[in-house]
Amino acid sequence: MLPKTIWEAITELSLFFKSLTATVITIEDMKKLEAEISIILCKLEEIFVPGIFNSMEHLPIHLAYEARIAGLDGSSIFCSYYFEGHVYARNRKVPLNDDGGAQDVDEEKLPIFSHPGCPYGKLKTRMLTEKEYIAAHSYILLNEDHVQPYVKMYEEILAELHPDMNEVDIMLDVDKNFATWFETYARQNPIKNKYIHDLSGRPLRTVKTYNVYFINCYKFHTVSYGEKKLTMNTGVCISGDSCDYYGMLLEILEVEYPGLPIKSTVLFRCDWYDPTPNVGVKIHNEYKLEEAHAPHGPHSSHCSELTQLISYKHS
């Protein structure tokens, strides 16, 4: 654990650069950063030996000011890095962590099969265990909006057959039995959308695995792949109704459903942190940060769950 004074100084410097490189900045924000950076650097000079400070360490002093007074030409070059992928501009290369996604013209194709993303590195294959197989298929079904009318239909059937079932029991039953019911329903009733019909069947048991994946202009890699690297891109965050869930990426899986056209989606297998405040997650109100602790204790049984990739929006 870092001493509090060192942790605070490094955290404030990190937040300075986070605010400086935000996609939307205001003059008021830049004036605030101008005032804060001098204090931050003074804190760092009190901690570290003078020998590590040179002109580069003092460069942040000028950055907020330059961002505030940038003229038309400077602003244009800066903003060109945030144009859409098909727009070319001077001094602009391929976007960082480009996912290479192209828009699909098939209007029937489900979002779960069309979200852009790009794997990187050596491809491997493996067989899903029975538990993983069931969890992956159920998760994909229950997180596709076009399947929700069938989920509601199944819930109504449960409520009619079992009037005493509460909402929790219905949710548990949906997680456990909806996939089987939906497969039988699709066989006995015509479903016009070919993707929904194919989704009602089971996926292939053999999945592709990757170490790196680019999505939403972010780069993710597995814990094992990045353990000896200088940068860390193994963390994931999913926003929930009552709290945010943090985890570490263990495996990147591409799950495919049989039949043409080819239909596949990518899942993350993660270790999840305990979201209980002041137990698994500590909130720093002053810096508006949440600090997650390693998965352990009574919630460790919930680790290594499969998470559908397109549910990850930012963070």
User: Are residues 53 and 112 part of one domain?
Assistant: no
Chosen domain end from 82, 105, 139: 82
* Of 172, 208, 299, 210, residue with least CA distance to 247: 299
Chosen domain end from 28, 57, 82: 82
Which contiguous run of DSSP H or E holds residue 249?
strand 244-257
Contact 222/252 with Cβ under 8 angstroms? Answer: yes
Kindly state whether residue 89 falls inside one of the protein's structural domains: no
d(CA 312, CA 122): 23
Token pair 């699909």: residue = 104
d(CA 270, CA 304): 5
User: Are residues 26 and 143 part of one domain?
Assistant: no
User: Are residues 34 and 183 part of one domain?
Assistant: no
User: Are residues 165 and 58 part of one domain?
Assistant: no
User: Are residues 70 and 216 part of one domain?
Assistant: no
Could you list the residue range(s) of the whole structural domain that residue 140 is in?
A: 97-315
User: Are residues 19 and 64 part of one domain?
Assistant: yes
Kindly state whether residue 88 falls inside one of the protein's structural domains: no
Which contiguous run of DSSP H or E holds residue 247?
strand 244-257
Residues 6 or more apart whose Cβ sits within 8 Å of residue 49: none
Taking CB atoms within 8 Å and a gap of at least 24, the contacts of 67-71 are: 67/20, 67/25, 67/30, 68/27, 68/30, 68/31, 68/34
User: Are residues 40 and 161 part of one domain?
Assistant: no
Kindly state whether residue 284 falls inside one of the protein's structural domains: yes
User: Are residues 72 and 140 part of one domain?
Assistant: no
Classify residue 121 as left (phi > 0), alpha (psi -120 to 50) or beta. left
Kindly state whether residue 141 falls inside one of the protein's structural domains: yes
User: Are residues 181 and 292 part of one domain?
Assistant: yes
DSSP characters over 146-198: GGHHHHHHHHHHHHHH-TT--HHHHHHHHHHHHHHHHHHHHHHS--S-HHHHH
Kindly state whether residue 124 falls inside one of the protein's structural domains: yes
| Domains of the chain: total | 2
Grade residue 26 by pLDDT with cuts at 50, 70 and 90. Answer: confident
User: Are residues 193 and 50 part of one domain?
Assistant: no
User: Are residues 296 and 147 part of one domain?
Assistant: yes
Grade residue 259 by pLDDT with cuts at 50, 70 and 90. Answer: confident
Tell me, letter by letter, the H, E, C secondary structure of 263-305: EEEEEEEEEECCCCECCCEEEECCCCEEEECCCCHHHHHHCCE
Kindly state whether residue 91 falls inside one of the protein's structural domains: no
Kindly state whether residue 111 falls inside one of the protein's structural domains: yes
pLDDT of residue 297: 42
pLDDT digits (tens, 9 = 90+) for 192-248: 899 999 999 999 999 999 999 998 888 999 999 988 888 888 988 888 777 788 889
User: Are residues 199 and 69 part of one domain?
Assistant: no
0.75 exceeded by pTM: no
Kindly state whether residue 90 falls inside one of the protein's structural domains: no
* Of 128, 143, 129, residue with least CA distance to 179: 143
Chosen domain end from 53, 82, 111: 82
pLDDT digits (tens, 9 = 90+) for 72-113: 355 445 545 555 555 555 555 555 555 555 555 677 889 888
d(CA 291, CA 275): 10
Contact 30/21 with Cβ under 8 angstroms? Answer: no
